[in-house]
């Protein structure tokens, strides 16, 4: 079945990590989310993919290409203005001519869940996946009777249903007519949920109950926790070089050409992107480091998400919350792409440094610094 994957959104809640990349390009378990999504979809039986791209779409095109690395043909349609999820789906009207699947490019779900929707969509459309969660009111809550959807409510204050919209849909081309008939909502957008509500009132929407993994990244700190739920084996790329005196723990993933200097210590769940240099005596714990970043000697990075091509100066300390919060994402230190920090700066959660910033030696930060800011001292 053909899958239309929505990957055009900006993901503003994930600033500064999304200043230069769309949310589907954020790394989870050492690869972009969109990579996990396409891999899962093909494992479930998807045999062609159309990516709806918009915000920073070139990053996705560059990574996914024509799909060769996923062994599935991938095409693209542009959603120039991001006017809602239904508007995004409508962009694919020209390229689908049979029943098709719609997935979110920034949510990782189980292979079985996608396979179940494909099987159901072979019989009837529209169909949507629902999944049971403990705290449904934060999501789109779905009421189901006898296998049919009767209501969808976004973030209700209270509910009797424990089921939420899992973001996997099966449609046929008649959905494009439904979308055309929608009026923009208060935000000026056409939402897929509104289209489904039309269908509920019309011919009905079948619900497919799914369970298992359902990974959504809504805050930078999620990048530290969701990787673990994917049960991916940590791996040291063969081109990575680790000094004999460095300590690299069992939960550490090092991508190509990472260099780890003498007496550096990497422990906990650590994902290090390609061409990252970790200097002597650096310590890193439970963090994500994106490609091309330099962490200079004796710096400490813990519970932090460090962007691409960042320079963390010598003896700089970036430390998020040490103990995981009771619920939700742990407070982390986030540093945007291309920023220069330190030497000997101290960044404590919830410090968030935008892209292209310069933070001077000895600065002490605990708050949010906008893009392209020069922090002289604090």
Partner 1 sequence: MCGIIGYVGADTALPVLTSGLDRLSYRGYDSAGIALLDDGGLQSYRAPGKLDALRAVLPDTAAATIGMGHTRWSTHGPPTAENAHPQLDCSGEIAVVHNGVISNAAALRGELEGHTLTSETDTELIAHLLEEAQSAGGTPADQIRTVTDQLEGSYALVIAFADDGHLYAVRQQSPLVIGDGDRGRYIASDVPAFIEHTDAVRYLEDGDIAVVGAETVRILNDEGEVSRPLTRVEWDAEVAEKGGFAHYMLKEIVEQPDAMRQSLSGRTDPTTGTVRFETNLGPLARVQNVVLVGCGTSHYAAAYAAGVYEANGIAAEAVIASEFRERPHWDPAVTLIIAVTQSGETADTLTAMRAAAGQGYATMAVTNTVGSSITRLAEHAVFIRAGPEIGVAATKTFSTQVATLLVLGVALGEARGSLSRTVRRRQLEAIDGLPGQLQAMLDARGVIDEIAAMAATASNHVFIGRALGLPVAREGALKLKEISYDHAEAFPAGELKHGPLALVTDETVVYAILTPGADPERTVTNVKEVQARGATVVALGPPDRWRSLTDWGVPVEGSATTAPLLSTLALQLIAYEIAAAAGRDIDQPRNLAKSVTVE
Name the site residues for partner 1 (rule: CB under 8 A): 20, 51, 53, 58, 61-62, 64-68, 74-76, 239, 241, 243, 256-257, 259, 261, 274-275, 277, 291-294, 308-309, 337-338, 355-356
According to DSSP, the β-strands at 100-104 and 163-171 are antiparallel
DSSP 236: B
> Angle 41-44-27 (CA atoms, 0-180°, nearest 5)?
35
Nearer to partner 1, 189 or 243 (CB): 243
Question: Taking the complex as a whole, how short is the minimal distance between the CB of residue 135 and partner 1, in angstroms?
Answer: 37
Minimum CB separation of residue 53 from partner 1 in Å reads: 8
DSSP 81-146: S---HHHHHHTTTTT--S-EEEEETTEEE-HHHHHHHHHHHHH-SSEEEEEE-S-GGGSEEEEEET
Q: For residue 365, list its beta bridge partners.
A: 347
State the minimum distance, in angstroms, from the CB of residue 90 to partner 1: 19
Contacts for 319 with CB less than 8 Å, ≥ 6 apart: 300, 301, 302, 303, 304, 333, 347, 348, 349
Shortest reach from residue 19's CB to partner 1, in Å: 8
- Residue 117 vs 264, nearer CB to partner 1: 264
- Alpha-carbon distance of 165 to 144, in angstroms, equals 11
Element (H or E) spanning 127, and its range? strand 127-132
Q: Which is nearer to partner 1, 28 or 51 (CB)?
A: 51
Least spacing, CB of residue 60 vs partner 1, in Å = 8
Q: Which is nearer to partner 1, 71 or 185 (CB)?
A: 71
Q: Which two tokens stand for residue 78?
A: 């542009």
For partner 1, which is the closer residue by CB, 172 or 257?
A: 257
Compute the least distance from the CB of residue 342 to partner 1, in Å.
17
Q: How far is the CB of 202 from partner 1 (least distance, A)?
A: 35
Residue 337 and residue 309 in contact, taking contact as beta carbons nearer than 8 Å: yes
Closest CA to 240 of 212, 213, 266: 266
Residue 319 CB, nearest approach to partner 1 (Å): 24
Nearer to partner 1, 285 or 358 (CB): 358
Closest distance to partner 1 from the beta carbon of 352 (Å): 18
Residue with Cβ nearer partner 1 (21 or 198): 21
- Check if the beta carbon of residue 126 is closer than 8 Å to that of residue 199: yes
DSSP 206-231: EEEEE-S-EEE--STTHHHHHHHHTT
Pairing of strands 2-7, 100-104: parallel
Closer residue to partner 1 (CB): 124 or 241: 241
Closer residue to partner 1, CB minimum distance, 92 or 196: 92
User: d(Cα 262, Cα 297) in Å, to the nearest integer?
Assistant: 10
Whole-number Å distance between alpha carbons of 6 and 184: 19
């Amino acid at each position: 079945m053909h899958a239309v994957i929505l990957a055009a959104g900006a993901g503003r809640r994930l600033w500064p990590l999304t200043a230069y990349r769309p949310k589907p390009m954020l790394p989870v378990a050492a690869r972009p989310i969109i990579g996990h999504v396409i891999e899962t979809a093909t494992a479930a039986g998807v045999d062609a993919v159309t990516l709806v791209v918009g915000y920073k779409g070139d990053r996705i095109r560059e990574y996914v290409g024509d799909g060769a690395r996923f062994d599935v043909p991938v095409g693209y349609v542009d959603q120039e203005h991001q006017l809602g999820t239904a508007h995004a789906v409508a962009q694919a009207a020209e390229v689908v001519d049979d029943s098709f699947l719609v997935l979110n490019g920034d949510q990782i779900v189980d292979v079985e869940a996608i396979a179940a929707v494909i099987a159901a969509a072979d019989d009837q459309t529209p169909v949507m996946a629902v999944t049971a969660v403990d705290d449904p009111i934060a999501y789109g809550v779905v009421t189901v009777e006898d296998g049919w959807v009767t209501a969808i409510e976004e973030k209700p204050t209270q509910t009797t249903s424990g089921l939420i919209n899992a973001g996997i849909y099966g449609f046929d081309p008649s959905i494009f007519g439904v979308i055309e008939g929608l009026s923009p909502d208060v935000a000026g957008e056409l939402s897929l949920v509104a289209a489904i509500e039309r269908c509920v009132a019309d011919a009905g929407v079948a619900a497919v109950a799914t369970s298992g993994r359902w990974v959504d990244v809504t805050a930078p700190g999620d990048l530290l926790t969701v990787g673990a739920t994917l049960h991916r084996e940590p791996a040291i790329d063969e081109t990575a070089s680790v000094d004999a005196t460095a300590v690299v723990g069992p939960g550490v993933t090092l991508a190509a050409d990472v260099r780890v200097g003498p007496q550096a210590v990497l422990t906990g769940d650590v994902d290090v992107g390609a061409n990252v240099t970790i200097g002597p005596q650096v310590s890193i714990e439970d963090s994500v480091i994106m490609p091309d970043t330099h962490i200079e000697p004796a710096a400490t990075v813990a519970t932090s998400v460090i962007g691409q091509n960042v320079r963390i100066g010598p003896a700089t300390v970036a430390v998020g919350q040490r103990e995981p919060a009771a619920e939700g994402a742990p407070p982390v230190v986030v540093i945007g792409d291309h920023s220069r920090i330190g030497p000997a700066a101290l960044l404590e959660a919830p410090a968030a440094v935008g892209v292209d910033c310069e933070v001077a030696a000895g600065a002490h930060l605990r708050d949010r610094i906008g893009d392209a800011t020069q922090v002289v001292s604090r």
